[in-house]
Chain A
């Protein structure tokens, strides 16, 4: 780890360069390169500006208004309401219920998804495994399959009377469960679908991470008498720390934004038990056309996700 640092040191020493006005002192070649770079960057930056920054700013501003169906008809019908949308949101029990559902989904689905991804990654990466590309493809297939077609299959699997899942449970003497109709089981059922659908992506990242762990470490540990569990605990896990951070943060962000799974499977029902924050936002915005509250919801979700991501960074740093 030290060598890149020492290589970089001459550069860091030259940092007083920035004191000079950078444009005047650049050579003509540098200037030409800069200009070329600017041209190359411009399309991407423009796209980012138009499709990312402007919508975010518009969302923030809309969240301070009561923009609704009447305002779509005539923009003059929108009023500036300040933080009233936020106050109303915090006193809305449907919002809190959705937030609770989402936290449940993240808390159950996130770790489960990471664990399944890691487990399959280790299986696929194991020396004994044959036909690795085949398994990698099979496990990755759900990620690239369209959710709507997957949802149709899973609805059959979850069918209370004819579903395969209940059939199997029946064989071991467990009574039929109304997976998507029972408010207690609907969210776990959605978690199961989401984990199955998404673990392949993280698995590939874990496979890459595993391949970066030096094999000598395992050999040395084995010679020192470390068993499988200790090698996993003291070599694999620390070796994967940066991968964990990446996978953890992206999975959490993704899971906080859960929308498509409940939308196609249950439309938020039964009794609102699978309505996520994003589904709530969608209903506010595109079903009831309360764009103001929908935008405020988006901002709240952004803050929660941000807090979660910062927490993970902090935890990782402490451990390191």
Chain B
């Protein structure tokens, strides 16, 4: 026992004195592919900042959330980390990450005007900025240009009525084959939520701590959503029932799909060569003619943890990674869409017609409600939505049930607000 202890002490001493002699080692946690390739950007940062070393820890996305939270509880958080921007509110509630307003105000490198306003806004929680967008993400319409053109719609739909008409004509033009206008998987919340946001619904009354799903705005979007299933324009299936999405898209089982930038590469890789000219992307249609449809503000931000003793050095790293050149290199390494607008020009992504839909859409993105319970509420949205699609409840019943679920989930927030504590 005592010998083992002795060895442990010895090891600890060795680690202690084996440092780099006065330099600072920044601990940087990044997820998935980003964590893998960001290392390639760092030698330059270390050259520019002698005495600073960055130690990257790569964390798989599936474990990232738990790992960050347990690290916070165990007081073992890194100095700087990549966070999905929908997670920020949770880490603010935990009081784990540091506000960055003062640093941004003093920064010569990062200018909020270079960023997409909707994305930037996801980093602002209760009036304070907590993260700097690293890369961005949103959802647009992926569609079969050939099928839509054959059905008399050479241009992508611009508003809900055109959208519905395009679906109807695609279905009618299917001949003997069973064809659908659009795939809206029943186990995904984004389609429903996006339509709600487009119709102007706030989704939740965050101030009071209740849901706003039964309000007229969301009801309108929900009715549109349900009508697509009722009229046979969308198949009532979940993702699990679609064995191979790409194959079904290639077969023309459905002509449209709402998805994100990760599928740009996948569609190129997985669709047969003869279809490569047949698919395109477009910004989402809006509810009224002439009003662009909004989509979700997604992506990842860089944050500094409150416990970090090297916050200034961490900020240097964030500034470095936010430079247009680094953003451009990062795009080349990962394919992630850059947060910095200039990088869109320098890399030439803006010239790619399929990426251009994302560029347009990114000017019209809205954040989902910024509270830790959102992810949980989002799962409820599609669970309740499915009961209405399948006819197990009326639309009004489903939405009222959803509001009841939300009211229960937010009970704690209301209590905290009542006691005058910041939720």
A interface with B by C-beta (< 8 Å): 43, 66, 68-70, 72-74, 76-77, 79, 160-161, 178, 181, 269-271, 286-289
Contact = CB atoms under 8 A, between A and B. Distances in A.
Contacts of B150: none
A177 to B, nearest CB: 12
A66 B412 contact: yes
B372 A69 contact: yes
A167 to B, nearest CB: 17
Given A43-B1, A69-B94, A70-B416, A271 B423 contact: no
Given A72-B73, A286-B66, A286-B69, 17 more contacts: A69-B90, A69-B93, A69-B94, A70-B93, A70-B423, A72-B69, A72-B72, A73-B93, A76-B421, A79-B415, A160-B243, A178-B243, A269-B240, A270-B238, A270-B240, A287-B65, A288-B376
B95 interface: yes
A74 B421 CA distance: 10
- What are the 10 closest A-B residue pairs judged by CB atoms, nearest first? A270-B240, A73-B94, A73-B95, A286-B66, A181-B240, A69-B372, A73-B93, A288-B376, A72-B94, A69-B93
B203 to A, nearest CB: 19
15 contacts: A69-B90, A69-B94, A70-B423, A73-B94, A73-B95, A77-B416, A79-B415, A160-B243, A161-B243, A269-B240, A270-B238, A270-B240, A271-B238, A287-B66, A288-B376
Interface centre among A66, A69, A70, A269 (most CB of B within 10 A): A70
A47 B423 CA distance: 38
A118 to B, nearest CB: 37
Nearest to A182: B240
A270 B238 CA distance: 10
A271 B379 CA distance: 12
B163 to A, nearest CB: 29
Contacts of B240: 181, 269-271
Interface in B222-250: 238, 240, 243
B336 to A, nearest CB: 24
A123 B243 CA distance: 41
* Secondary structure of the B contact surface, majority rule: helix
Interface in B404-423: 412, 415-416, 421, 423
Interface string B75-106: 00000000000000010011110000000000
A62 B316 CA distance: 41
A180 B372 CA distance: 31
Interface of B: 1, 65-66, 69-70, 72-73, 90, 93-96, 238, 240, 243, 372, 376, 412, 415-416, 421, 423
* Secondary structure of the A contact surface, majority rule: loop
Contacts of A79: 415
Contact of B69 (A66, A74, A289): A289
Given A69-B90, A72-B94, A287-B66, A77 B243 contact: no
B421 A77 contact: yes
A287 B375 CA distance: 10
A68 B412 contact: yes
B67 to A, nearest CB: 10
A70 B95 CA distance: 9
Contacts of B238: 270-271
Nearest to A183: B240
Contacts of A72: 69, 72-73, 94
Contacts of B72: 72
Contacts of B423: 70
B101 to A, nearest CB: 20
A271 B386 CA distance: 12
A61 to B, nearest CB: 17
Interface centre among A68, A73, A77 (most CB of B within 10 A): A73
Contacts of A69: 90, 93-94, 372
Nearest to A74: B95
Contacts of B65: 287
A181 B242 CA distance: 10
B4 to A, nearest CB: 12
A286 B68 CA distance: 11
Nearest to A269: B240
B263 to A, nearest CB: 20
A74 B423 CA distance: 10
A68 to B, nearest CB: 6
Contacts of B416: 70, 77
Nearest to A79: B415
Nearest to B72: A72
A274 to B, nearest CB: 12
A160 B243 CA distance: 9
B270 to A, nearest CB: 15
Contacts of A269: 240
B401 to A, nearest CB: 13
A121 to B, nearest CB: 38
Contacts of A271: 238, 240
Contacts of A270: 238, 240
Contacts of A288: 376
A198 B73 CA distance: 34
A168 B368 CA distance: 48
Contacts of A178: 243
Nearest to A288: B376
Contacts of B95: 73-74
Contacts of B376: 288
Contacts of B73: 72
A79 B412 CA distance: 10
A63 to B, nearest CB: 17
A43 B95 CA distance: 37
Contacts of A160: 243
Nearest to B187: A271
Nearest to B372: A69
A43 B5 CA distance: 14
A288 B66 CA distance: 10
Contacts of B93: 69-70, 73
A154 B152 CA distance: 47
Contacts of B70: 286
Contacts of B1: 43
Contacts of B66: 286-287
Given A181-B240, A270-B240, A70 B412 contact: yes
Interface centre among B73, B94, B238, B423 (most CB of A within 10 A): B94
B411 to A, nearest CB: 9
Contacts of A76: 421
Contacts of B69: 72, 286, 289
Contacts of A73: 93-96
A270 B242 CA distance: 12
A99 to B, nearest CB: 19
